[in-house]
Amino acid sequence: MAEFTLDLNDDQKQVRDWLHGFAADVIRPAASEWDEREETPWPVIQEAAKVGIYSLDFYAQQFFDPTGLGIPMAMEELFWGDAGIALSIVGTGLAAVGVLANGTEEQIGTWIPQMYGDANDVKVAAFCSSEPDAGSDVGSMRTRAVYDQAKDEWVLNGTKTWATNGGIANVHVVVAVVDAELGSKGHASFIVPPDTAGLSQGQKFKKHGIRASHTAEVVLEDVRVPGHCLLGGKEKLDQRLARARERAASGGGERVKNAAMATFEASRPAVGAMAVGTARAAYEVALDYAKTRTQFGRPIIDNQGIAFQLADMRTQIDAARLLVWRASWMAATGKQFESAEGSMSKLYASETAKKVTAQAIQILGGNGFTREYPVERMHRDAAIYTIFEGTSEIQRLVIARTLSGMPIR
């Protein structure tokens, strides 16, 4: 078990500095353009692939960092550069986590490389869980997967929404209902391979923030996938469903994780780290501005009203980072989230990002309200952290139910 420390080791510092340089030199100069275009920044993703950032190997190295700090450190630096572009670079990771959390070794080895492609032929992947009537309430999911035993195929029908890279992905990971009577415990995840008939992109959303990241509906009409595309395999699914039916029949209260929840639980501290990166970026802009902007013959940071805001901003950012690092370290060292520490990290970091970016605009005054300064974009981007992968309200519900011992459905 790795010993806990707040000091990054030399390898981690080297990776952090490398990522920071890429964020400063490649991501930031392109941020405003791709935000205005509201398109996937393929040239930037390709540059990330060329240097090894957008690759399975890089994320695997960070994922298996024994301290657990590899992924949150990487997320913070990339999102410090720009949230929209960074999400385009890391969005494939959610689908990859879905496969890692639920798939067999063969499925992991087969499908995750196809999610990334290579530097000469970049690909992306999409994780499709949310639906028009099933966001936080995953139990209301309507997308169905029916097994055709004669052909050993699963037939998927339904509509997914809010899918990062939805419709443009090479590989889609789709969560669907296989047993409606079991609610969220009757869900399973499926790989939809490239060019599968029946899968199409629906509405592409024009968003308030993270506009360089592609978000769209995914429509599934009689989509047939081979039996081996069921993550984890049919035998494992049948066993899990049988246990869930037995517990339902006996009135047992033991919790069974569903496919979507398993993915979200593994990724929430990483989302917290994204929020920390955006908050830190806005804070640094506000700090530099406050030191150079002069009013009434002195820098505005000499005014207590500004200085105290900056002190609070920095304190909240550091506190958010520590919560993210704690949750990441706990996950890496096999410690249970007995008090929903993962949700705590996502909740606090998300709320901090919204608050800090709003304060940054206030410190810059009229300049902060214009697109000539990046804090306006950062504030728009920060709004998503309290919404996706579990709203702040859902995080509070998870925390409260964990503390009280109530089941999380």
Q: Read off the CATH number of the domain in which 66 is found.
A: 1.10.540.10
* H or E element in which residue 157 lies: strand 153-164
Which position among 36, 254, 389, 393 bears the catalytic label? 389
Specify the pairing of strand 294-295 against strand 171-177: unpaired
Residues 175 and 221 in one domain: yes
Distance spanning both ends of the chain, measured CA to CA: 32
Residues 92 and 131 in one domain: no
Taking each helix axis as running N to C, give the angle between helix 375-382 and helix 341-364, from 0 to 180 degrees, rounded to the nearest 10: 150
Residues 60 and 164 in one domain: no
Residues 310 and 217 in one domain: no
- Are 100 and 108 in contact, with CB atoms under 8 Å apart? yes
Specify the CATH number for the domain of residue 301.
Answer: 1.20.140.10
Question: Where do the H-state alpha helices sit in 64-205?
Answer: 70-81, 83-90, 92-102, 105-116
For residues 292 and 167, what is the distance between their CA atoms, to the nearest angstrom? 46
Which of 94, 122, 150 is the last residue in one of the domains?
A: 122
- Are 23 and 77 in contact, with CB atoms under 8 Å apart? yes
For residues 98 and 104, what is the distance between their CA atoms, to the nearest angstrom? 11
pLDDT at 247: 82
Specify the pairing of strand 121-122 against strand 117-118: antiparallel
pLDDT at 406: 79
pLDDT at 208: 97
pLDDT at 170: 97
Which of 220, 250, 280 is the last residue in one of the domains?
A: 250
For residues 38 and 19, what is the distance between their CA atoms, to the nearest angstrom? 24
- Are 407 and 255 in contact, with CB atoms under 8 Å apart? yes
pLDDT at 288: 98
pLDDT at 256: 42
For residues 360 and 376, what is the distance between their CA atoms, to the nearest angstrom? 9
Is 389 tagged catalytic? yes
How many other C-beta atoms can be found within 10 angstroms of the C-beta atom of residue 25? Answer: 11
Domain range for residue 103?
10-122
In a domain, 1, yes or no: no
Retrieve residue 378's tokens. Answer: 């950062």
- Each residue's pLDDT, cut to its tens digit, for the chain (409 residues) gives 556 568 899 999 999 999 999 999 999 999 999 999 999 999 999 999 999 999 988 988 998 899 999 999 999 999 999 999 999 999 998 899 889 889 999 999 999 999 999 999 999 999 999 998 866 666 678 999 999 999 999 999 999 999 999 999 999 999 999 998 888 889 999 999 999 999 999 999 999 999 999 999 999 999 999 999 999 999 999 999 999 888 877 765 444 444 555 456 567 899 999 999 999 999 999 999 999 999 999 999 999 999 999 999 999 999 999 999 999 999 888 888 888 999 999 999 999 999 999 999 999 999 999 999 999 999 999 999 999 888 999 999 999 998 998 776 6
Residues 226 and 358 in one domain: no
In a domain, 409, yes or no: no
Which of 74, 91, 122 is the last residue in one of the domains?
A: 122
Whether the predicted model's global pTM rises above the 0.95 cut:
no
Q: Is 167 helix (H, G, I), strand (E, B) or coil?
A: coil
